[in-house]
Amino acid sequence: MPTFAAALNYTSGCTSGEAGLTSTIDFGPTGTPNTTDPAGHATYALFDFSSQSPGCGGSWLNQASGTTIITFNAPISYFGFAWASTDTYNIVRVFNGSTLLNSFSGNAGGASAATVYANIFAGVGEQITKIEMVSNGCCFETDNHSYILATESSAVPEPSSLLLVLAAAVVAPFARRKFVR
Q: Under a CB-based contact definition with an 8 Å cutoff, are residues 60 and 141 in contact?
A: yes
d(CA 51, CA 29): 8
Beta strand 7-11 with 66-84: parallel, antiparallel or unpaired?
A: unpaired
Comparing CA positions, the residue from 39, 23, 15 lying closest to residue 116 is 15
- For the segment 124-143, what is each residue's pLDDT rounded down to a tens digit? 888 999 999 888 877 788 88
Confidence at residue 68, expressed as pLDDT on a 0 to 100 scale: 85
pLDDT of residue 2: 43
pLDDT, position 65: 74
Considering only residues 18 and 85, tell me which one the structure prediction assigns the higher pLDDT: 18
pLDDT of residue 150: 92
Q: Where is pLDDT greater, at 101 or 112?
A: 101
Residue 14: asked if its preceding bond is cis (omega within 30°), the reply is no
pLDDT digits (tens, 9 = 90+) for 63-79: 777 888 899 999 999 99
Contact 12, 117 (CB under 8 A): yes
Is pLDDT above 90 for 122? yes
- Cβ atoms of 112 and 73 within 8 Å: the answer is no
Q: How confident is the model at residue 101 (pLDDT cuts 50, 70, 90)?
A: very high
Domain range 7-155, its CATH number among 3.50.50, 3.40.50, 2.60.120, 1.10.260:
2.60.120
pTM of this prediction?
0.75
